[in-house]
Amino acid sequence: MTSPVDKPALNPGRLAIHAVLLLAVLLYLVPLVVMLLTSFKTPEDIGSGNLLSWPAAFTGIGWAKAWATVNGYFLNSILITVPAVLISTAIGALNGYVLSMWRFRGSQLFFGLLLFGCFLPFQTVLLPASFTLGKLGLASTTSGLVLVHVVYGLAFTTLFFRNYYVSIPEALVKAARLDGAGFFTIFGRIILPMSTPIVMVCLIWQFTQIWNDFLFGVVFSSGDSQPITVALNNLVNTSTGAKEYNVDMAAAMIAGLPTLLVYVVAGKYFVRGLTAGAVKG
């Protein structure tokens, strides 16, 4: 008769670590829980209860008012974010491909100068960007914001793609050249199909940065062309009469849902893509 398999003894140290991590998660989620509960309360319920109290009666009035206020700006953010993400990712892929596979005189210097864009704070580009948009007739438009985000994001997407592509064996490119494949043929048929992890990294990175941006939105847009982050700020700080915290919280949840959804759906690809090009060979 075989003896039953002994269960491994519980490690007190591991249990303590898990308990601390669980406590940290609960503390981190408290603001989200407060926002969610408040968004479903009535103003009277908010005034009479504490922040973590359960709503006396769930109501979607706050969500309805919030959506009626920010739905146009939500669409603006989509019209700004989607093309800016796609364009900056596509150009970054080409830049990374050129800088890693098609070396030319001064390519390393060009790449080094391009990296400065990753360290430039937003404030340093406000004046030159405003001047450029004015000359192009794109001031206070969604198209102007798309251009600003594409240009500012190119340094990051180029860095991501270049660091990923240097891990791809150069023998693949050399063999394709010997077979007569040209620049775009190699890129489209060999390099791009291998780029799914880093493409996901750039899409998630750029989507998060552009959707959550406030500074560029408040400086380079006005009126009906503003993104949802600016509209949310205006809603919270310029409301008149009694403060409707349920509307403010619902609007904040609406503004944050797209980025939350992106990370829930594709977050695992972000980590994989960042580490995929960590080792050359």
Residue position matching structure tokens 């995929």 = 276
In this model, does residue 1 exceed pLDDT 80? Answer: no
Residue among 236, 243, 214 at smallest CA distance from 227: 214
Q: What angle do CA 125, 159, 219 make, to 5 degrees?
A: 20
The C-alpha torsion from 44 through 47 and 53 to 55, rounded to 10°, is: 10
Residue position matching structure tokens 């890693």 = 100
Residue position matching structure tokens 């406030």 = 214
Residue position matching structure tokens 């098609």 = 102
Q: What's the confidence (pLDDT) of residue 189?
A: 87
Least confident range of 6-10, 174-178, 200-204 = 6-10
Find the helix packing angle between 126-136 and 142-165, rounded to 10°.
120
Structure tokens at 126: 């406000």
Tell me: the pLDDT tens digits for 89-112? 999 999 998 888 877 787 788 888
Residue among 196, 247, 207, 189 at smallest CA distance from 68: 247
**Cβ partners under 8 Å of residue 132, min gap 6:** none
Collapsing DSSP to helix, strand or coil, 7 comes out as coil
Rounded Cα–Cα distance for residues 234 and 248 (Å): 10
Cβ count within 10 A of residue 221: 22
Tell me: the pLDDT tens digits for 138-183? 888 999 999 999 999 999 999 899 888 888 888 888 888 888 888 8
- Tell me, what DSSP letter sits at residue 105? T
Rounded Cα–Cα distance for residues 199 and 95 (Å): 13
Q: What's the confidence (pLDDT) of residue 281?
A: 43
- Tell me, what DSSP letter sits at residue 124? G
Q: What's the confidence (pLDDT) of residue 276?
A: 61
Q: What's the confidence (pLDDT) of residue 3?
A: 53
